Amino acid sequence: MTVIWKPNPSAPLWDEESSDEPAGPYFQNVELNHILQSGPTCVPTTLAMIARSTGADVGPDDFKPIINSQSPHSWSKALESYGFQLAYCNQDLRRLDYYIDELIAYDDLFLVSFYSVDPPSDPDGNGKLCTSHIVTLHRNQIYDTAKRGFFGVSKAKQYSRLDRQTKRIFRVVPFGHPRRV
């Protein structure tokens, strides 16, 4: 038997839940309070902001020794004791603006990472890929730890960096969820 198949050029960010996993949204009611990062610490600052939503008294320095900024698995592991873990979303290098409506429609909690410069595909002379940044999307708000005060939280559709190319998108899911990084 010959199967007629052709590639699908797109996929939803989050494939529909199967019968053996809980359905989202998972964290509509979480309360986030913006934290301003100090230096190039967007990952530990973002993780601390999420952990604090549980009432935990933690900061970026609590996460620095237990994560690798380029290892999402370590980020997910660090969030486990707070009841969270990360799950990869389907995505590619398209600009954040391409995904923002779909992300908002999930009405949940996400980490969104994007490249800071064009083009992001070639490492520099030291082997480092261009810089990137991570922000938190909760429902329809973006929390950017690199921005101070009022500018640190914005409506997702009004975020100033929607033209940046996507590096990674994670959905924050409850610890023990079958999808994980």
The amino acid that residue 126 corresponds to is N
CA triple 108-48-52, angle to 5 deg: 70
Residue 20 tokens, joined: 């053996």
**Predicted confidence (pLDDT) per residue in 86-120, tens digit:** 999 999 889 999 999 999 999 999 999 999 887 66
Average pLDDT in the chain: 93
Q: What is the number of alpha carbons within 13 Å of residue 22 lying toward its C-beta?
A: 11
Domain that holds residue 159: 42-174
**Predicted confidence (pLDDT) per residue in 9-55, tens digit:** 778 999 987 878 888 999 999 999 999 999 999 999 999 999 999 99
* 160 domain residue, yes or no: yes
**Predicted confidence (pLDDT) per residue in 141-181, tens digit:** 999 999 998 899 999 999 999 999 999 999 999 999 998 88
* 122 domain residue, yes or no: yes
* 71 domain residue, yes or no: yes
Looking up residue 97, the CATH number of its domain turns out to be 3.90.70.10
* 108 domain residue, yes or no: yes
Please report where in the chains the tokens 């996929």 appear, as a residue: 11
- Fill in the DSSP letter of residue 60: H
The amino acid that residue 139 corresponds to is R
In the prediction, which pLDDT does 120 show? 65
Name residue 50's beta-bridge partners: none
In the prediction, which pLDDT does 100 show? 98
* 16 domain residue, yes or no: no
Q: How many folded domains does the chain comprise?
A: 1
Q: Residues 167, 120: contact at Cβ < 8 Å?
A: yes
* 179 domain residue, yes or no: no
Instruction: Concatenate the DSSP letters of all residues of 125-161 into one string.
Output: TTSPPPPEEEEEEETTEEE-TTS-GGGGEEEGGG-TT
